[in-house]
Amino acid sequence: MVPKQKIVILFFHPLLHKSRVNKELLRAVEDLDEVTVRIMYDLYPDFHINVSVEQELLLKHDVIVWQHPFYWYSAPSLLKEWIDLVFEHGFAYGKEGRALEGKKLISAITTGGRKEAYMATGPNRYSMRELLSPFEQTGALCRMNYLPPFVVHGTHLLNDDGIMLAGEKYRKVIQNLREDRFTPEEFLKHDYFNDIIA
């Protein structure tokens, strides 16, 4: 039997109480074994990140999930601070920085924009994958395998059933990652993890 992949979900949202969708995504995965969920704004409201604790957690997990709303084509500021401090030279990158080599990295994003808004002909002019390229390159520099993102589009348009469906899909994503069900070749064929599990 193949051992399950250990997953850590690092959830960055400064206003979780206002996010119906992210609450449901977390609820959908919080009971899964081999999955650790960390609510980062609760842990670090003052932005004083405990680098050694965060690095130790990364070493213990096979898959790192950055879950957050898509703010101004990027992420909430605590995620940037976390990357700046935790992915330090000599640990995550550089000649001797190989601690994260081979680990999987995925962005789990919520956004108010519809999927068609994220294309060359749409109002945002770029695809979601293109806009996430700084995160993908961060993973590449750290010798990690950046996977296609899981994205919930049009969050403000979703009714209760749509939100519950988003939670079910996210649970499926995390379960598939935990079971290590897909090959690198399959990831290369898709811009969204949503399409892989469809």
Which residue, among 75, 197, 183, has the nearest Cα to 138 in the 3D structure?
75
pLDDT at 186 (0 to 100): 85
User: Residue 197's pLDDT is what?
Assistant: 85
- Return the pLDDT at 2: 65
End-to-end, the C-alpha distance of the chain in Å comes to 26
Q: To the nearest whole percent, how much of the chain has pLDDT over 70?
A: 99
User: If you average pLDDT over every residue of the chain, what do you get?
Assistant: 94
CB burial class (10 A; 0-12, 13-18, 19+) of residue 160? exposed
Tell me what the mean pLDDT of segment 14-39 comes to. 93
Query: Is residue 3 over pLDDT 80?
Result: no
CB-side exposure of 166: number of CA atoms within 13 Å? 26
pLDDT at 174 > cutoff 80: yes
Tokens standing for residue 61? 């997990």
The dihedrals phi and psi of 34, each to the nearest 5 degrees, come to: 70, 15
Assess contact for 126 and 164: CB atoms under 8 A: no
pLDDT band (50, 70, 90) for residue 16? confident
Distances (CA, A) of 32 to 52, 87, 138, 178: 26, 27, 28, 9
The whole-number average pLDDT for the span 160-171 is 96
In sequence order, the 6+-apart residues with CB closer than 8 A to the CB of 7 are 32, 34, 35, 36, 61, 62, 63, 64, 65, 174, 177, 178
- Tracing tokens 């004083």 back to the chain, one arrives at 48
Give the 3-state secondary structure of residue 146. strand
Give the C-alpha separation, 40 to 156, whole Å.
23
- In tens, the pLDDT along 111-163 reads 999 999 999 898 999 999 999 999 999 999 999 999 999 999 999 999 999 99
Average pLDDT over residues 33-39: 96
State the amino acid at position 63 in one-letter form.
Answer: V
- Report the DSSP beta bridge partners of residue 146: 105
Average pLDDT over residues 14-25: 90
Strands (E), the chain: 7-11, 35-39, 63-69, 104-110, 145-146, 150-152
